[in-house]
Structure 1
Amino acid sequence: MAEELPVVFVPGLGCTARLFAHQIASLGERRCRVADHARHDAIGAIAESVLAEAPERFALVGLSMGGYVAFEILRRAPDRVARLALLDTTAEPDTEEGRARRRTLIAAARKNKLGSIHQATFARYVDLTREGDAALEALVREMLFETGAPAFARQMTAILTRPEQASVLPGLRCPTLVLVGENDLPTPPEHARRMAAAIPDARLVVLPGVGHLSAIEAPEAVSAELVAFLG
Structure 2
Amino acid sequence: MGKEPLILLPGTLCDHRLWGHQVQHLADIADISIGDITKDDTIKGMAKSILSNAPEKFALAGLSLGGIVAMEVVHQAPERVTNLALLDSNPNGPKPEQIEAWEKFNVMVDEGRFSEITEKFLLPNLIHKNRLADKRLIATICDMAEKVGSEAYKRQLKAVASRSDATDKLKGIQCPTLLLVGREDAVCPVEFHKQMSFLIPNSKLAVVEDCGHLSSMEQPAIITLYLRQWLLEVNPFERQGENEIEK
TM-score (normalised: structure 1): 0.97
8 A contact 1:114–1:144 mirrored in 2? no
Structure richer in helix, relative to its length = 1
Alignment of 1:1-231 (within 5 A): 1=1, 3-29=2-28, 30-118=30-118, 119-231=120-232
Distance in 2, Cα, partners of 1:109 & 1:16: 19
Matches of 1:112 and 1:71, distance apart in 2? 33
Following TM superposition, by how much is the alpha carbon of 1:189 offset from its aligned partner in structure 2, in angstroms? 0.3
Which one-letter code corresponds to 1:200 in the other structure? P
Alpha-carbon deviation of 1:95?
Answer: 2.0
The answer (yes or no) to whether the contact 1:110–1:150 under 8 Å persists in 2 is no
RMSD: 1.0
Q: Which digits, 9 at most, give the CA deviation of each residue in 1:62-107, with x for residues without a partner? A: 0000011111111110100000000000101222212211221122
Name the CA distance, whole Å, in 2 between partners of 1:96 and 1:123.
Answer: 21
> Which range moved further: 89-98 or 201-210?
89-98
Between the aligned partners of 1:31 and 1:175, the Cα distance in structure 2 is 19
**Which consecutive residues of structure 1, in runs of 5 or more, have no partner in the other structure?**
none
Shift of 1:40: 1.1
Letter in 2 for 1:226: L
Offset at 1:183? 0.4
Gaps of 5+ in 2: 233-247
Q: CA deviation at 1:61?
A: 0.4
TM-score, normalising length: structure 2:
0.91
Residue 163 of structure 1 aligns to which amino acid in structure 2? Answer: S
Structure 1: 4+ residue segments shifted above 2 A: 109-112
- Aligned partners of 2:165, 2:59: CA distance in 1, in Å? 23
